[in-house]
Amino acid sequence: MLERFVPLLMPLLSREIGDTARQVGRDGILYAVMALLGIIGFALAVAGAIVWLGTLIGTGPALLAVAGAVLLPIPVILGLMTHWRRVEQRRREKEREQDMLANALRLGASVLLPLLVRAPAAFLAVAAGLVVFLLFLDGDEKKADPDQGPA
């Protein structure tokens, strides 16, 4: 299991720890500064929108309009997150079903094939069942549509 992590750790192990710590610290500080500036910019944009709309429609309606515009994406994002979670859950369930089928086929092959090789009668019964199944499967496809008249 450790051999999986070695390629991921090699860049860290090949650099000096001090260089890595400085790089991570510098990046963390830069991301924090960008987040702070983004929040301040967003607050100023909201305040500007309120002041501008306040001159057009009044202070109360301007506050309500800007609050609605800021809060409206929240239910949309929550709905998308719920949808993505359901899609991911369906994908995982489908993968589990496929894994179960593959395991059942492996188990069936490992248990049934030796039995069929040792018992010719069982092999003939399985072969006859397969032939009958294929005959009925083929017969369903050749049925004529009842909507069509005689040919």
- For residue range 31-52, what is the model confidence (pLDDT) as tens digits? 888 889 989 999 999 999 999 9
**What residues in the chain have per-residue pLDDT under 70?**
1-21, 138-151
Neighbours of 122 (CB within 10 A): 13
Check residue 59 and give its pLDDT: 86
Check residue 88 and give its pLDDT: 94
CA distances to 56, 128, 132, 138, 141 from 135, in Å:
79, 11, 5, 5, 10
Check residue 93 and give its pLDDT: 94
